[in-house]
C-alpha cells in the first residue's frame, strides 16, 4: 500500500465484505479475514465537526420492500364503542397517542375509565400521574367504581424514573398525565417549557416504538384551543385527540384530528354523569331531544363527522343593535364563515344585516367544521330576521359559494338516511345528479341561494305552519 495512507489524520476505513471499521488501512480485514477489501470511508457530510456529521459513520438500517410478510397489527378494543371508533377500531400496539383538552373537561376521568376497560381485556396497564398523588387517583377510581380493577398506579415527574419504571414493568399500555409536568435532567429549563415538552415526548415515543408499549400522553391546551407546547409533538405521535365540550353542558366530544391507523375527524360522544363519562351511541337523537317547539331562527343541519352522520340544531338570533358597531357572536362554528354567509346574503340576495346584531349557536356544545352547514346557517339567519318558523320536519345541508351558488357535498346518502331514521320528511339540499332514490323523504333541490331565500321569505307566505309544504 502506498505510504500516502500512513499518517493520514481523521481517516476511517471499512471492509466492503463485513462492514468492519478501522482507523488505519491494512491489506487484510481483521474481522472476516478477506484480502484487499479495505477502503477509505467518504464522510457523511462536509463542514465543521461540531455542526456536521463528519466522517463518523452510523449503523446500517435494515430495509424491506412493500411485499412485507409481517402479520397485520392486532387491535385491542376496550368495549367503549365511542373510544374505539375514534381510535380507528381499537388500540394499536406500539402507538403513541396525544390527548388534549381544557382543564377539568374530563381527560383524566376518561383515560382512567379506558385504562380499566383495557385492563379488563388482559392488557397490563400502567397509569402514571404527574399532577396527582397516587391516593388522589385511587379516590377518583373509587368514585367511578373502578377500585377493584388491576391497574398499576404511580406518581412521578422525572423522565428518567418514568423510563426506568416502564423498562422494568413492560406494560402493554402506559398513560402519562400530563406531558407538561414531565422534566428531563438533560434539559436545563423548567417543566412545561418548549424544550422540556419536546424532549419528554421524543423519549417516550421512542420507547413506545422500541418496546411495543402503547403510550398515551395527556396535554393541556392554550386559550386558542391548541395543545400547549411545540407543534412538533403532534407530529411525533401517531394519533392526536381533542376532548371538547362546554363547562355548563353535560356532553363531551372526543375528536380525532390525526390518526395514522384510522379515519381523521372521527368523533365520539360522551355524557358527563355522577359515575363518570357514559358513551352516547345515538348522538343525533340526543342533540335534538331538547329542541322543543320550533321557533324562528331554528333549523336542523344534517352533517358528517368523520364517518358518522350527525343531525344537530342550529340557532340564530337577529336583533337591532344599540351600538354603532353591530355584534357578531358565534358558538360552535367558524366566525369567518358566518361573516362570509352574511356578506353573500347582502350582496347576492339583497338581505341587509347592517345595524343588526347576529348571534349563532350550535346546540349541544358541538363544534362544526364542514362547509356543508352553509345552507342551514343561511336558513336560520333568514328565519330569525324575517320571524319565520321553519317546520320541524325540515332538514338542511349544502355549501354556499361567494357567487351565491349552492354546491353539492359529500356523503349525501348517509345524510338522507340519518334524517329519515329520525323522522324528518323534507330536505333542502343542493342539486345533485346522483340523488338517492327509494327513501321515504322529499328532497327539494336548490341551484342558488337567491331562489332559496325567495322560497322562504318572499311574502312570508311560503312557510306558515307545519302542514303547509314549501312552494317549489
Q: What is the pLDDT of residues 156-214, one digit of tens each?
A: 999 999 999 999 999 999 999 989 999 999 998 888 888 999 999 999 999 999 999 99
* Phi, psi angles (nearest 5°) of residue 331: -130, 120
H or E element in which residue 194 lies: helix 194-211
Angle between helices 107-120 and 134-143 (to 10 degrees): 80
Look at residue 437 in the predicted model and tell me its pLDDT: 65
Residue 59 has pLDDT above 80, yes or no: no
Identify the CATH assignment for 285-458 out of 2.60.120.20, 3.30.230.10, 3.30.2010.10, 3.40.50.2300: 3.30.230.10
Q: Worst-scoring range by mean pLDDT, 259-263, 316-320, 435-439, 462-466?
A: 462-466
Residue 59 is placed in which grid cell? 449503523
**What is the average pLDDT across 58-64?**
76
Residues 245-254 have a mean pLDDT of 81
Say yes or no to pLDDT of 149 above 70.
yes
Whether domain 81-281 has CATH 3.50.50.60: no
Q: Is the dihedral of CA 210, 216, 218, 221 positive or negative?
A: positive
pLDDT value for 436: 62
Task: Determine the pLDDT at residue 465.
Answer: 38
Give the mean model confidence (pLDDT) for residues 60-89.
82
* pLDDT interval class at 49 (50, 70, 90): low
Q: Do the Cβ atoms of 298 and 315 come closer than 8 Å?
A: yes
Please compute the mean of the pLDDT values over residues 96-110 and round it to a whole number.
Answer: 90
Q: What is the pLDDT of residue 55?
A: 67
Cβ–Cβ contacts within 10 Å for residue 78, how many? 21
Nearest partner of 204 among 74, 78, 98, 102, judged by Cα:
98
Distance CA 36, CA 368 (A): 69
CA distance 269 to 288: 14
Confidence at residue 25, expressed as pLDDT on a 0 to 100 scale: 85
Task: Evaluate if residue 350 carries a pLDDT over 70.
Answer: yes
Say what the pLDDT of residue 471 is. Answer: 40
User: Model pTM?
Assistant: 0.78
Residues sharing a CB contact under 8 Å with residue 43, sequence separation 6 or more, in sequence order = 53, 54, 55
Among residues of the chain, what percentage have pLDDT more than 70? 88
Most confident stretch, 53-57, 284-288, 384-388: 384-388
Residue 402 has pLDDT above 60, yes or no: yes
Mean pLDDT for the stretch of residues 87-109: 91
Output 463 or 39, whichever has higher pLDDT.
39
pLDDT, averaged across the chain: 86
- What is the pLDDT at residue 433? 66
What per-residue confidence (pLDDT) applies to 285?
Answer: 86
Amino acid at each position: 500500500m502506498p505510504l500516502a495512507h500512513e499518517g493520514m489524520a481523521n481517516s476511517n476505513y471499512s471492509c466492503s465484505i463485513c462492514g468492519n471499521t478501522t482507523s488505519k488501512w491494512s491489506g487484510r480485514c481483521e474481522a472476516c479475514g478477506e484480502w484487499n477489501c479495505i477502503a477509505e470511508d467518504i464522510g457523511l457530510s462536509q463542514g465543521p465537526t461540531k455542526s456536521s456529521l463528519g466522517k463518523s459513520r452510523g449503523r446500517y438500517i435494515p430495509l424491506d420492500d412493500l411485499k412485507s410478510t409481517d402479520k397485520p397489527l392486532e387491535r385491542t378494543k376496550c368495549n367503549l364503542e365511542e373510544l374505539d371508533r375514534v381510535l380507528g377500531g381499537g388500540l394499536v400496539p406500539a402507538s403513541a397517542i396525544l390527548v388534549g383538552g381544557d382543564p377539568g373537561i374530563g381527560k383524566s376521568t376518561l383515560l382512567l375509565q379506558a385504562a380499566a376497560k383495557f385492563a379488563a381485556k388482559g392488557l397490563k396497564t400502567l397509569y402514571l400521574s404527574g399532577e396527582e398523588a397516587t391516593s388522589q387517583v385511587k379516590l377518583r377510581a373509587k368514585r367511578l367504581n373502578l377500585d377493584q380493577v388491576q391497574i398499576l398506579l404511580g406518581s412521578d415527574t422525572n423522565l428518567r424514573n418514568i423510563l426506568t419504571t416502564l423498562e422494568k414493568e413492560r406494560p402493554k399500555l402506559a398513560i402519562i398525565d400530563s406531558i407538561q409536568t414531565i422534566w428531563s435532567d438533560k434539559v436545563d429549563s423548567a417543566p412545561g417549557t418548549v424544550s422540556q415538552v419536546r424532549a419528554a415526548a421524543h423519549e417516550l415515543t421512542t420507547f413506545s416504538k422500541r418496546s411495543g408499549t402503547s403510550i398515551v400522553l395527556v396535554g393541556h391546551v392554550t386559550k386558542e384551543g391548541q395543545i400547549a407546547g411545540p407543534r412538533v409533538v403532534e407530529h411525533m405521535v401517531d394519533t392526536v385527540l381533542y376532548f371538547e365540550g362546554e363547562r355548563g353542558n353535560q356532553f363531551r366530544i372526543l375528536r380525532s384530528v390525526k390518526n395514522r391507523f384510522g379515519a381523521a375527524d372521527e368523533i365520539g360522544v360522551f355524557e358527563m354523569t355522577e359515575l363518570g363519562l357514559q358513551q352516547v351511541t345515538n348522538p343525533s337523537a340526543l342533540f335534538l331531544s331538547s329542541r322543543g317547539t320550533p321557533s324562528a331562527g331554528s333549523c336542523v343541519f344534517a352533517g358528517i363527522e368523520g364517518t358518522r352522520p350527525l343531525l344537530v340544531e342550529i340557532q340564530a338570533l337577529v336583533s337591532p343593535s344599540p351600538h354603532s358597531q353591530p355584534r357578531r357572536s358565534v358558538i360552535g362554528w367558524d366566525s369567518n364563515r358566518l361573516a362570509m354567509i352574511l356578506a353573500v346574503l347582502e350582496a347576492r340576495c339583497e338581505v341587509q344585516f347592517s345595524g343588526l346584531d347576529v348571534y349563532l349557536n350550535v346546540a349541544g356544545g358541538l363544534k362544526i367544521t364542514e362547509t356543508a352547514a352553509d345552507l342551514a346557517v343561511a336558513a336560520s339567519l333568514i328565519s330569525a330576521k324575517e320571524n319565520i318558523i321553519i317546520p320541524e320536519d325540515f332538514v338542511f345541508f349544502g355549501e354556499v359559494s361567494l357567487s351565491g351558488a349552492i354546491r353539492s357535498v359529500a356523503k349525501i346518502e348517509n345524510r338522507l338516511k340519518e334524517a329519515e331514521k329520525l323522522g324528518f320528511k323534507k330536505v333542502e339540499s343542493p342539486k345533485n345528479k346522483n340523488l338517492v332514490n327509494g327513501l321515504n323523504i322529499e328532497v327539494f333541490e336548490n341551484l342558488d341561494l337567491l331562489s332559496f331565500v325567495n322560497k322562504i321569505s318572499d311574502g312570508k307566505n311560503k312557510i306558515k305552519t307545519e302542514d303547509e309544504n314549501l312552494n317549489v
